[in-house]
Amino acid sequence: MVEDCLFCGIVAGTIPSQTIDADERTVSFMDINPATPGHALVVPRAHSADLLAIDPADLEACAASAQRLVKRMGEVLKPDGFNLINACGAAAWQTVFHFHLHVIPRYEDDPLKLPWLPRGGEADEIAALAERLRVDG
Ligand code: AMP
Ligand code: ZN
Residue 122 falls inside a structural domain: no
Nearest ligand to the C-alpha atom of residue 100: 1
- Calculate mean pLDDT across residues 43-67: 98
Residue 96, pLDDT > 90, answer yes
Q: Which ligand is nearest to the CA of 1?
A: 2
Predicted TM-score of the model (pTM) = 0.91
Nearest Cα residue to atom 19 of ligand 1: 32
Per-position b or e across 81-106, b if 16+ CB within 10 A of its CB: ebeebbbbeeeeebeebbbbbbbbbe
CB 65 within 8 A of CB 26: yes
**Assigned domain for 86 exists:** yes
Domain extent, residue 16, equals: 6-110
Q: In the chain, how many domains are there?
A: 1
Concerning whether 100 is annotated as a catalytic residue, the answer is yes
pLDDT in tens, 104-120: 999 999 988 876 666 78
Q: CATH no. for residue 10?
A: 3.30.428.10
117 occurs within a structural domain: no
Residue 1 lies in a domain: no
Query: Is residue 133 in a domain?
Result: no
Mutate to test the pocket of ligand 1, among 17, 41, 51 (most ligand atoms within 8 A of CB): 41
- The reply to whether 53 falls in a domain is yes
pLDDT tens for 3-31 read 899 999 999 999 999 999 999 999 999 99
Is 35 inside a domain boundary? yes
